[in-house]
């Protein structure tokens, strides 16, 4: 095992992780950022971000994250692309991590591992994954298989409205399937989606099955109205699932206190139940879940880590 002990290791490279990197880098702590499989985090799957302060015209999600990464690197942060933490041992400091099969030691840890897409949990969803079933309109919407075809978006939040609106650029029509008769999305996003001629909302409905297993690609959905129990089918070439997220916290189970849904519990500020481990962003926030709140939490975690290290240096 290498004897080198990193002062600060940051798990995750979304808004929370990269802001924590910027602050700890400016504090000359030479943070190491382990990006995981999705450098830049979930924001890179969004098109235009209209509510990040300081960008009056909005900014592309990926561009925002690249800017933030470069800003952190300018002050000495080391961003390790694709590096994934497989195991953590938080029993004593320095903490022991296994990263891509290699050991790593960290004096402090900032967990900013974000959240992943929630799945419907259908067998047909699994079978047709990447064969018309997708969780990211910005990533997949422009694929030839979806061009000028009817598409389905599932969900009633900001993500579903944003994805449905975005997909109207390519699709012949977009069905927005929601399990209730009222959208959860913010007023501006909901109004924009519902005002779009190409979007047809389908209320009180859930997908019972995604069709197309014989053809080995999505051909439609079987819907069930949860008020009347009635079933019907819709033809479509793609199903875009936008029903929220689950925190990426499985590797910390049994070591960091979590709530029933797996969100890491914060104690005071960004502290966790383990001294030296701090947390920021979507992996510990089921209330706000915004880019700017994640960035703020990353800043707080960096300051908390820096203060702990400074107090131990004296």
The nearer residue to ligand NAP, 7 or 245, going by C-beta atoms, is: 245
Site for ligand NAP contains 59 (CB under 6 A):
no
Q: Distance between CA atoms of 130 and 183, rounded to whole angstroms?
A: 27
Question: CB pairs under 8 A, 24+ apart, for 181-186?
Answer: 182/156, 183/156, 183/157, 184/156, 184/157, 184/158, 185/156, 185/157, 185/158, 185/160, 185/161, 186/158
Cα torsion angle, 66, 72, 75, 77, sign: negative
The nearer residue to ligand NAP, 94 or 114, going by C-beta atoms, is: 114
Interface with ligand NAP (CB under 6 A), residue from 44, 69, 83, 159: 159
What's the closest the beta carbon of residue 187 comes to ligand NAP, in angstroms?
11
CA atoms within 13 A on the CB side of 170: 20
Q: Residue 103 in 3-state DSSP?
A: strand
What would the x/- binding string for ligand NAP be over residues 27 to 56, using CB under 6 A?
Answer: -------------------x--x-x-----
Site for ligand NAP contains 226 (CB under 6 A):
no
Site for ligand NAP contains 156 (CB under 6 A):
yes
What would the x/- binding string for ligand NAP be over residues 115 to 154, using CB under 6 A?
Answer: ---x-x---------------------------------x
To the query of whether residue 139 is one of the catalytic residues in this protein, the response is yes
- Are 183 and 156 within 8 A, CB to CB? yes
Catalytic residue among 15, 140, 158, 304: 140
Site for ligand NAP contains 157 (CB under 6 A):
yes
Please report, as residue ranges, which positions from 162 to 221 form the binding site for ligand NAP (by CB under 6 A).
162, 179-180, 184, 186, 206
Q: Distance between CA atoms of 128 and 10, rounded to whole angstroms?
A: 35
Residues that are catalytic: 136, 139-140
């Amino acid at each position: 095992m290498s004897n080198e002990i990193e002062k600060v290791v940051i798990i995750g490279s979304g808004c929370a992780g990269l802001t924590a990197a910027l602050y700890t880098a400016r504090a000359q702590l030479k943070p190491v950022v382990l990006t995981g499989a999705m450098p830049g985090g979930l924001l890179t799957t969004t098109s235009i971000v209209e509510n990040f302060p300081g960008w009056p015209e909005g900014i592309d999600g990926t561009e925002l994250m690249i800017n933030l990464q470069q800003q952190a690197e300018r002050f000495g942060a080391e961003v390790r692309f694709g590096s994934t933490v497989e195991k953590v041992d938080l029993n004593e400091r320095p903490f022991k991590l296994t990263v891509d099969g290699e050991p790593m030691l960290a004096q402090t840890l900032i967990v900013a591992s974000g959240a992943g897409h929630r799945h419907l949990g259908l067998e047909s969803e699994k079978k047709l994954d990447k064969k018309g079933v997708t969780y990211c309109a910005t990533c997949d919407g422009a694929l030839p298989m979806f061009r000028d075809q009817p598409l389905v978006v599932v969900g009633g939040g900001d993500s579903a409205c944003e994805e449905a609106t975005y997909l109207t650029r390519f699709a012949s029509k977009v069905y927005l399937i929601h399990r209730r008769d009222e959208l959860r999305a913010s007023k501006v996003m909901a109004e924009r989606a519902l005002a779009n001629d190409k979007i047809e909302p389908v209320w009180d409905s859930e997908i019972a099955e995604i069709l197309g297993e014989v053809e080995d690609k999505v051909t439609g959905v079987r819907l069930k109205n949860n008020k009347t129990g009635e079933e019907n089918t819709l033809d479509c070439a793609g199903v875009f699932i936008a029903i929220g997220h689950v925190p990426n916290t499985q590797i910390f189970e049994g070591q960091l206190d979590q709530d029933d849904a797996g969100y890491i519990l914060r104690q005071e500020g960004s502290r966790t139940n383990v001294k030296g481990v701090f947390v920021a962003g979507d992996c510990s926030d089921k209330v706000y879940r915004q880019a700017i709140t994640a960035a703020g939490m990353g800043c707080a975690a960096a300051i908390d880590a820096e203060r702990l290290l400074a107090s131990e240096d004296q």
